[in-house]
Amino acid sequence: MTLAGLLPRLGGEVFVDDESLRSGDPRAAVRNGLVLVPDDRSLFRNLTCEQHLRLASRGGRAAYQSAVASTLEYFPALGKRMNVAAGSLSGGEQQMLAIARALLQRPKVLLIDELSMGLAPVIVESILPTLRDVASTDRTAIVLVEQHVRLALAVADRAVVLAHGNIALQDDAADLAADLPRLEAAYLGG
């Protein structure tokens, strides 16, 4: 919430491409390419997938159609649900819609808070590789807050474990995945 400008910082600075972002200014964050997918997904229950994506798009009709088509390549299941209200979607479909909506804003940095909240592990396992594809294909930095550590480490480049707001451990994701005792000690406060 603080990185996205929704809460004022208590200290430090947030930079995107060497541009310092003004504290507590979510519009400035989005203008500079930092987009948040919050843990509650923040969808309008009565709006359809199409309406959500149209609200998030930039540019005219042709730009919208092109952007939606490329975004739906990541989430083809949503293409069949474009006229369905968000409140009628499954939890996994809602998460895909929230991420697709964020991608339409062409983020440089995509913040995803608790991707797996309320989702079956099999759904999380299907979405995480898609995020890896987004990072590789679109050159989007993704900051993922996730409780399913092993799943997240499988697709991440770097990992940071926070304890009470302080960095307890940081390393390459593959190195941490290979050293579970060290990870567990940092994660559980040992």
Q: What was the pLDDT predicted at 190?
A: 61
Confidence of residue 9 (pLDDT cuts 50, 70, 90): very high
Exposed, middle or buried, 159 (CB in 10 Å: 0-12/13-18/19+)? buried
DSSP 3-state of 119: coil
Read off the pTM: 0.92
Confidence of residue 188 (pLDDT cuts 50, 70, 90): confident
